[in-house]
Amino acid sequence: MTSRPPVSEGVRGGPAAPIRRPLGFRQAAWFVLVFWVLVGGLILTGMARAGAGPAESASPLAVGGESEDLGAPAPARESAGEIIDLRAIRSELADQGEMLAEMQADLAPLEQDVARLRERLAAEELSLAGEQIDAAALRRARAELDSSRSRVSVVGGRIEQYRLAERHLRDRIARIEDQRRLVSDTAEELRLEMAHQLLGRQVELTRRLAAAFADLQVNLAERERLLEQRLRLLQHRVQIGAIDDAAAFVADERVPMLESVIADLLRRVTRLRAQLAATGGATAADRQQREVLALQADEAVARAFLRQNDLELVLAQNRLDGLAALREDPLIPVRLLQEALIKLDEVNDIADKVAAELTATVKALEAQRALFRTTGARDDPRLELIDSLEVLGRFQQRDLTALHARLQTERQAYARLIGERSARSLLERQSLPLSGADWRRVAATAWQLPHLTAAAVRDLSEVTAGRARAASAGQWVAAALGSLLLVLALRPARRALRADPGDSLALTRAALARVLPALLPAAVWLVAGLALAMPPAMRLPVVLVLLLWPLQMFVLDLSRRAVAARIEADPGNAEALRRFLHRLRLGVIPAVLVTALYLLSRALPVAPILADLLDRLAMLGLLSLALPAFAARPLLVGVLGAVTPKARRRAAVVARVAQALPVYLVVTALVGLAGYTSLAWAMLDYFGWAAAVGLGLLVVLGILSDLKGRLDAGIATRNGPRESLWRTHFLAPGYRAAQLIAGVAAVWMLLKLWGWNAESPAIRWIGGLLRTELVRIGAVSLSPADLVTVLLMVAAALWIAGWSQQVSYHLAYGRVRDLGLRRALATLTQYVVVVVGLLLALEAIGFDLTTLTIFAGALGVGIGFGLQNIVNNFVSGLLLLGERPLRVGDYVSIGTDEGRVTQIGIRSLTVRTSSRCEVIIPNSAVISGKFTNWTRSDAVLRQLHRIGIGFGDDVELAMRIIAQVLADEPLVLKQPAPAVYLADYGEWAIQIDITYYIDISGGDELGRGPRSSILLEIGRRFAAQGITMPFRRADLMVTLDQQSREALAGGGKAAASIPPG
């Protein structure tokens, strides 16, 4: 037989290894699938084992509850040559035998005790009411559970000790067997054989003891699980009313004392009033006696009122003490903490009522005292009474202030505790029923659901009948009118929803119009409940149940309409869309049924074991609803509108976001099916409210968009001069502001619906981060929140300033004809808004504006040195606004710059020159220097030209030609009339002056255009008539001396031709 060579040898030099084809994609996929199936099976097995042995319960047995040794043999540490003590082994065998007999005798009573506990729990699940449970019962159940947990832990440790001892005993037996092979002495061999037999019996007893302790642990674990379920049942059934009432009427010696004092004062008032009524007569003594009796009666009434306030404060403080103690109890469930928060609001309302009455009483006492002092009755005894009563009222006001502060502190502590416990409860896993007895309990509690529902309906009818009998006429009228208005408004509402089928919300409004009649029962019940002042705990569950069917109708009808719209737009995809609609019906109906069952289970006193099972069923319903959602993306485009490009883009964005919807629902359902139902419902709650608020926001934005379109069309029909103004500066900003307000309101509503407030963990973390100090400037510390506030306020101020400039320019200063003044005033308004915004931003972050006087002094010094030019220009701008030496549109010459004024600002003005460049000129240059305003009074400019003709030309003809040219020029004004004058007989020509006027308001800079056309036309006509326009001519005489002439003589005849001297 040949051995197979190692792989290393084959690689080095042996036969070549066969070449294996690599794994293909299909094989790899199967391998990964099988791997994850195995891993999932292991995880589920571990979860099942963890569920079979929960870590919480209680046991009344004392076995295993102490820490002393329970008979486990000590580990053997003999060496190979050590002498074995047979007597000690026999003693250990006897002790273990006795321990095993005791354990077997205790198991039967323990099993009976577990059975009795199971029966008790089943009975309590069917009969226990919240009025029978108080905080002490919760603490006793928790103490029993903690004791059982510790005993189960001790028993588990003992089991490990016995198993370790068994291994050590087997090691001893192995060592004895080794010694027997080496020993030659017969006696020693017999002794080793005896030790081997005794140790074998001890191993068997140790194994049986470990098994007995394992059986004990199973029973103790079962008892622990039952006790844990009983604690959950108590926490589920306990009511805040029992705890709060016990706290309100706690034994307080002040309560009976105050009640006795109030009763005595009221009896005294009755007696004094009777004496006052019996006292007659018109004498001075009788009148004085009546005044004394009236004074004493008023004093007794006032003191009774103040003592009644003291009693209210004592009872409120007792309730507050009880609620504060309730907050310290870790067994109180989150539901009870939320109800306690409502009780705190009730105590706060009582304190507010007492404070309002006390304030009114103190003000009345102050008014009476002022009246007595005004009339001069300073020695009147009633004045002393008023002072004493006012002092008592001030003391009560101080107590009320302290009570309000404590209430605020407790409310914050409760909100923080609710957030922390809610976050911890998300990771608590609830297991399914494990045994047949548990399933029988589930069946028994489920069988009670119809009876519980009937009882709840009877209670609801009794409460409704009681509220109806106790209702006043006004409440009946309000309920009847509200219901009648709902019925009468149904038809107009449906007609309004069906109108305008071409907008972006046509499908949604049509589906809502069809569902409105089904919403009527829920709306009528809600209005009637509000009118009859029914408690929310009995009003809201009925409303939610009544809303389920309309909600299902709305979803299915909206989906049907969207599918029809998509089929019309894309007929090739019709079959797939119809399959989606069919799957949606199959998913929505069970989801609604399971949701109704879940709402009933939450409204009824259902046992926690059944509530857990119903939670799992609800997760299955959620999973059935999530499957058709994978094909919902194409429908959202049709539902959210495809009317305008902007609507289509919005629908596309929402559709992309909606791709995560089915994944999120599937993950939520799987989390709930795994047992983390609190986490699953929290995820579903957050997502559901976010989706509802998001859809509501989309509807509001769609309505705003449609409203903007209609207003825009209405503005366009007017076609007035301010159409662009209203559209740009009112409609567009208003639409953006409405969108911003809708978004902020949606976020605020979402946080409210999520139950987030200032004490929520996330909000507290964000708030702490924003309140972190970054820098300190004097007594003011700046945080990120301050910086964000300043940035937002400054941004808002800048935006409002720009808007106010435009609006004030066109509306507030619209009657100002001077465009420069109007623009300057609008700019000044903008600066004022910016300055006010900056001051408000500084004040918002804590800067004291009165300290700006020091800054103003420093600013004055800075102005004297470095800012004088800026201030000079600013003051010059104000002077330009006041004196108005020039305006926008004037044609001016400032220094070397000439052009038309296009803008006058606070610091500078802008002049556009003839070369189309804009020159920025400081205002100080205009005020301090001289300039020419060609159009200050009017835009008529006088033009003057002088033309020369030859001495031989006809002057009158030339003047007639010039006059005709001026008459033919359309830009020459008729009034003032143009003129032609003979100016002078010059040295070289006859001078003719031409005067005419033009209007340069049309933009012609100094009339250069008319001047050019007039001069060109005069030249053409003079040339046609032979009139010359001579130019100046001069004769040059050069005189040379004799030397120059001789020097030039060599130049030939040219030099000789020069005349002498």
3-state secondary structure of 589: helix
Phi-psi map region of 210: left, alpha, beta (phi>0 left; psi -120 to 50 alpha): alpha
Query: Rounded to an integer, what distance in angstroms lies between the CA atom of residue 991 and that of residue 981?
Result: 9
SS (H, E, C) 992-1049: EEEEEEEECCCCCHHHHHHHHHHHHHHHHHHHHHCCCCCCCCCCCCCCCCHHHHHHHH
Greater pLDDT, 1053 or 760: 760
Contact 401, 351 (CB under 8 A): no
Residues 6+ positions from 972 with CB-CB distance below 8 Å: 966, 978, 996, 997, 998, 1010, 1014
Helix (H) or strand (E) holding 686: helix 677-718
* Relative orientation angle of helices 436-447 and 86-127, to the nearest 10 degrees: 10
Query: Rounded to an integer, what distance in angstroms lies between the CA atom of residue 891 and that of residue 899?
Result: 5
**Angle at Cα 349 formed by Cα 348 and Cα 355, nearest 5°?**
90
- Cα Rg, the chain, nearest whole Å: 52
Query: Rounded to an integer, what distance in angstroms lies between the CA atom of residue 879 and that of residue 882?
Result: 5
Sign of CA dihedral 527, 529, 532, 537: negative
With bands split at pLDDT 50, 70 and 90, how would you rate the model's confidence at 337? confident
398 — phi, psi (to 5°)? -65, -40
- Kindly give the pairing relationship between strand 979-985 and strand 940-949: unpaired
Least confident of 597-611, 854-868, 1037-1051: 854-868
- Kindly give the pairing relationship between strand 918-922 and strand 940-949: unpaired
Percent of the chain residues past pLDDT 70, beyond the cut: 77
Q: Is the pLDDT of residue 8 over 60?
A: no
Selection from 620, 627, 625 nearest residue 598 by Cα: 620
Contact 65, 154 (CB under 8 A): yes
Q: Is the pLDDT of residue 581 over 70?
A: yes
The reported pLDDT for the residue numbered 437 is 79
With bands split at pLDDT 50, 70 and 90, how would you rate the model's confidence at 71? very low
CA 509 from chain center: how many Å? Answer: 28
Q: Is the pLDDT of residue 485 over 50?
A: yes
Contact 936, 886 (CB under 8 A): yes
Phi-psi map region of 531: left, alpha, beta (phi>0 left; psi -120 to 50 alpha): alpha
Query: Rounded to an integer, what distance in angstroms lies between the CA atom of residue 1028 and that of residue 953?
Result: 7
CB atoms within 10 A of CB 716: 10
550-552-555-559 Cα dihedral, nearest 10 degrees:
-120
Query: Rounded to an integer, what distance in angstroms lies between the CA atom of residue 878 and that of residue 824?
Result: 9
- Kindly give the pairing relationship between strand 908-913 and strand 897-904: antiparallel
940-1025 is a CATH 3.30.70.100 domain? yes
Query: Rounded to an integer, what distance in angstroms lies between the CA atom of residue 189 and that of residue 181?
Result: 9
Query: Rounded to an integer, what distance in angstroms lies between the CA atom of residue 486 and that of residue 525?
Result: 11
Q: Is the peptide bond before 18 cis (omega within 30 degrees of 0)?
A: no
Over residues 1017-1033, mean pLDDT: 83
Greater pLDDT, 133 or 59: 133
The reported pLDDT for the residue numbered 380 is 62
With bands split at pLDDT 50, 70 and 90, how would you rate the model's confidence at 32? very low
Query: Rounded to an integer, what distance in angstroms lies between the CA atom of residue 122 and that of residue 611?
Result: 14
The token pair that represents 561 in the structure block? 């309409």
CA 129 from chain center: how many Å? Answer: 39
Task: Say which amino acid occupies 760.
Answer: S
Helix (H) or strand (E) holding 919: strand 918-922
SS (H, E, C) 183-241: CCCHHHHHHHHHHHHHHHHHHHHHHHHHHHHHHHHHHHHHHHHHHHHHHHHHHHHCCHH
Tens digit of pLDDT for each residue in 864-898?
A: 665 666 667 777 777 776 667 777 777 888 888 88
Residue 996 buriedness (CB in 10 A; 0-12 / 13-18 / 19+): buried
Selection from 1009, 1001, 994 nearest residue 945 by Cα: 994
Contact 836, 830 (CB under 8 A): no
- Kindly give the pairing relationship between strand 908-913 and strand 918-922: antiparallel
Query: Rounded to an integer, what distance in angstroms lies between the CA atom of residue 622 and that of residue 669?
Result: 6
Over residues 831-836, mean pLDDT: 86
3-state secondary structure of 81: coil
Selection from 203, 214, 208 nearest residue 165 by Cα: 203
Selection from 596, 657, 595, 603 nearest residue 632 by Cα: 657
Q: Is the pLDDT of residue 283 over 70?
A: yes
The token pair that represents 70 in the structure block? 């329970």
Tens digit of pLDDT for each residue in 486-545?
A: 888 888 877 777 766 655 567 777 888 888 888 888 888 888 888 877 777 677 778 877
Tens digit of pLDDT for each residue in 977-1010?
A: 888 888 888 878 888 888 888 877 766 566 677 8
pTM of the complete model: 0.60
Residues 6+ positions from 249 with CB-CB distance below 8 Å: 318
CA 607 from chain center: how many Å? Answer: 36
Greater pLDDT, 704 or 28: 704
Selection from 582, 701, 693, 554 nearest residue 640 by Cα: 701
The reported pLDDT for the residue numbered 21 is 40
6 — phi, psi (to 5°)? -60, 160
Tens digit of pLDDT for each residue in 624-666?
A: 777 666 666 555 555 454 445 555 666 666 666 667 777 888 8
SS (H, E, C) 352-420: HHHHHHHHHHHHHHHHHHHHHHHHCCCCCHHHHHHHHHHHHHHHHHHHHHHHHHHHHHHHHHHHHHHHH
Per domain, the residue ranges of the chain are 56-61+72-238, 253-425, 467-675, 681-749, 940-1025
Exposure letters 297-309 (e unless 16+ CB within 10 A, then b)? bbbbbbbbbbbbb
